[in-house]
Amino acid sequence: MTLKRLIFLAAAAYILVVGGGLLIYRILIAYPELEQLTLESHKGDIRAIKSTYEGELNHLKLFNSDWAKWDETYAFLNGQDPGYIERNINSDSFINSNVDIVSIYDSQKRHILTGKTTGAGLELLTDLSELTNDIHLDTVLNRDEVCALIRLGKRIGYFCSNSVQDSEETNPSNGTLIFIRMIDNSIIQRLQNLTDSQISLRSYDNEQHSIVIPPSLDNLPLTDGRYHFPLLNGKNIPIGVLNIHYQKEQLPVLIDKNTIISILAMLMLPILITIFVYYFFLKPMTTIFSNIGTMNKTGKLQNISIHTHIAEIDAFTANFNLFIQQIKQYQQKLESESNTDGLTNLFNRRYFDHQYDEMWRAVSRTGNSISIVMMDIDFFKKYNDHYGHQKGDDALKAVASKLKTVSRRANETLARYGGEEFVLITESLSKKELEDMLANIINSIETLNLEHKPSPISDHLTISCGACYIENPGSWMKDKKEQALKIADDSLYEAKENGRNQFIIHPLSNQSTNSKY
């Protein structure tokens, strides 16, 4: 065998082993990991879209509830307020809200009014066939609250309905109020900016479809970057489809340009390329994909700290790190939005539930005392009715800001529980310290000097508090978490019944003692 042939065979063997090895590594290890990472990113985008929709739906739900549980709406359906439509529904503030269509039924399921908000005011609608295609009237009119998707012609929207009652919700319902909002280009554009994808909606034009079960994200394939999700109405019947499309450049490629260049270079200089590939290509790439594999296994995203003399690898690392930062920013943004109340910037009910569970477990082990405090602004509905919802929102912000100054300890969690109600959990307080803190809360709200003329107890805004105090926690309280929350809520109710602008404390026991401010 000649040296030339030996060198040729050695070079050929090297090319087959190293070049083939690189191809196998790319196909069997690197590419699947990139696919999985891309798929997880797409799943995160889809969850973000779902979360954004749920946020918009909750906003409409709260807005609908505020109008349905209102004395003026209740009086209108009782025939006592003939000017209600012109004064409220046809007002500029309502016309400029996010509600596109409003529909009202009385307690006998008779249609009272349906209108579409336009720049010129409320335009009454007489043809309700499109509305009733996707709104199951028997369900809507017989339940206190219903929210679902709806199809109107070639557009998709969502609606929320609520039974109409007085502001205090003491009288029986006398009808149903339905608000509809259509999904417009601004919502689509916001979702596209959030996910860096192309998003579109298509309505099924009133075709009949069978009831379906929504697909699970757990079994979502990567495909070609195109995802299609059925949009279901309240009957779980498809009324349209949500299309999500990623550009081809955003998807992983089986054999990329860098891999091809590396193999061609090894054909010309097999020995030198062996050294080059090992020190300048294989080693850093192995490190990169090892880090990606670790991220995939642990679920913890982190930057890849590596620098080479190959522009493509460094560019990949830089782009990958940028991609990781974007994902982290999306995660932080979603976590912040999911844990924070948008109006008051306090923690929301979801975050409180999590922290309450964590603190409950902790004090069960440590034996530190724990206090659960429920707070409610006195006669806030009257405040809203008298001063308007904008002033009501300003009052909620002011109260929240003041409560923050009272609650400053690291082991305390202050949250907006819902509406005008707030909740505070704290540990390691004596009962006397808890009483002093509640007295301070009540005095602090009074010092805001927010005028409240409709209040029958004070000329200024006041607050009532109810607390559950557990002095000696332990393993005995394992299953009493909900009971403690109910005791705090009942104490708040008792404070309101006793005249408001005060606090009541009850311990977690059958022999309770009260402390009244």
Cross-sheet strand order for the sheet of 111-118:
121-124, 111-118, 101-106, 175-182, 155-163, 145-152
Instruction: Give the separation between CA 279 and CA 268, rounded to whole angstroms.
Output: 18
Instruction: Give the separation between CA 453 and CA 233, rounded to whole angstroms.
Output: 45
SS3 state at 105: strand
Residues 121, 122, 123, 124, Cα dihedral to 10°: -160
- The whole-angstrom distance between residue 290's C-alpha and the CA centroid of its chain comes to 33
Check if 40 is active-site: no
Q: Where on the phi/psi map is residue 418: left (φ > 0), alpha (ψ -120 to 50), or beta?
A: left
Residue 463 sits at φ, ψ, to 5 deg, of -140, 145
For residue 408, CA distances in Å to 245, 370, 401, 426 come to 46, 16, 12, 10
Active-site option among 33, 123, 420, 435: 420
Instruction: List all residues 6 or more positions away from 240 whose beta carbon is below 8 Å from its beta carbon.
Output: 149, 151, 156, 201, 202, 203, 204, 230, 231
Biggest distance spanned by C-alpha atoms of the chain: 110
* Three-point CA angle 223, 199, 231, nearest 5°: 85
Instruction: Give the separation between CA 4 and CA 11, rounded to whole angstroms.
Output: 10
Instruction: Give the separation between CA 425 and CA 349, rounded to whole angstroms.
Output: 12
Cross-sheet strand order for the sheet of 238-245:
198-203, 238-245, 226-232
Residues linked to residue 148 through DSSP beta bridges, in sequence order: 159
User: Is 469 within 8 Å of 431 (Cβ atoms)?
Assistant: yes
Cross-sheet strand order for the sheet of 503-507:
412-418, 421-427, 370-377, 463-470, 503-507
User: Is 501 within 8 Å of 441 (Cβ atoms)?
Assistant: no
For residue 384, CA distances in Å to 141, 278, 397 come to 27, 71, 14
How many Cβ atoms from other residues are within 10 Å of residue 328's Cβ?
Answer: 13
Catalytic residues: 420
